Structure 1
Amino acid sequence: METWEFEAELWPWKEETDAWIFVTAPPEVTEDIREASIAVGPPRGFGSVRVEARIGTTVWRTSVFPGQDGYALPIKKDVRRREGLEVDDRAVITITLI
């Protein structure tokens, strides 16, 4: 399995809600994910790719979604609460294709 680690800033999908918060993988990680996901199989809905993500001690399974600036990883509210993260904070993220 392919694994990447990067640091990124948390950003909201829409300004008026904290329900959907994301980080964006940097360009080099996005390209690596794109290439590696071909071997895993066809993309899922919306071009998403299944991953296992980790921030601090919190691990969860989700998908990354292609966007204009790179793959976006949703950061669940429970994860943000456990790791003490808010919008505009930076976090170190590890993602592994599954």
Structure 2
Amino acid sequence: MEDFTVTTPLWRWQSATAPAAWFFLTISGDAADGIRLAAIGGQWLDGRKGFGSAKVHAAIGDTNWSTSVFPHKESGGWLLPVKAAVRKAEGIAEGDDVTVTVSL
């Protein structure tokens, strides 16, 4: 299993037509490249399924969970969704710099 740790701002995406909002961390640079290589070599990375996602384990502070990262065309990196339970448990909000470790 390979680990990649980054510190990046938490940001919110909201549809113009839906009331719900989603929160993400953008993983770019060397960590993004490492995730891409690990996903291709160790698990799966298929642009035809799951939006090209890769399964990961994520950790912020004392909170760990299983999720997926998704390719982010704008940065050339990955988007990591951060669910409400994680944000609440770790006391993080939109705009906060968050240190996250993803493993795959």
TM-score for both structures, normalised by structure 2: 0.85
> CA-atom RMSD, angstroms?
1.6
Quick check: which has more Rg, 1 or 2?
A: 2
Residue segments in structure 1 that go unaligned for 5+ positions in a row: none
Provide the rounded CA distance (Å) in 1 between the counterparts of 2:72 and 2:24.
Answer: 11
Provide the rounded CA distance (Å) in 1 between the counterparts of 2:92 and 2:8.
Answer: 12
Matched residue, 1:42? 44
TM-score for both structures, normalised by structure 1: 0.90
More displaced stretch, 88-97 vs 39-48? 39-48
Alignment pair present for 1:20 and 2:22: yes
Matched residue, 1:30? 32
Residue segments in structure 2 that go unaligned for 5+ positions in a row: none
Identity of aligned residues (%): 40
1:15, CA displacement in angstroms? 7.3
Matches within 5 A, 1:48-59: 48-59=53-64
Q: Secondary structure at the match of 1:66?
A: strand
Instruction: Write the letter of the residue equivalent to 1:56.
Output: G
On the 8 A contact 1:19/1:77 being kept in 2, the answer is no
More displaced stretch, 14-23 vs 28-37? 14-23
Aligned residues: 97
Provide the rounded CA distance (Å) in 1 between the counterparts of 2:44 and 2:54.
Answer: 9
Q: Which runs of 4+ in 1 moved over 3 A?
A: 15-19
Alignment pair present for 1:91 and 2:104: no
Provide the rounded CA distance (Å) in 1 between the counterparts of 2:40 and 2:100.
Answer: 22
1:36, CA displacement in angstroms? 1.1
Provide the rounded CA distance (Å) in 2 between the counterparts of 1:83 and 1:15.
Answer: 25
Which structure's residues are more often strand, by fraction?
A: 2
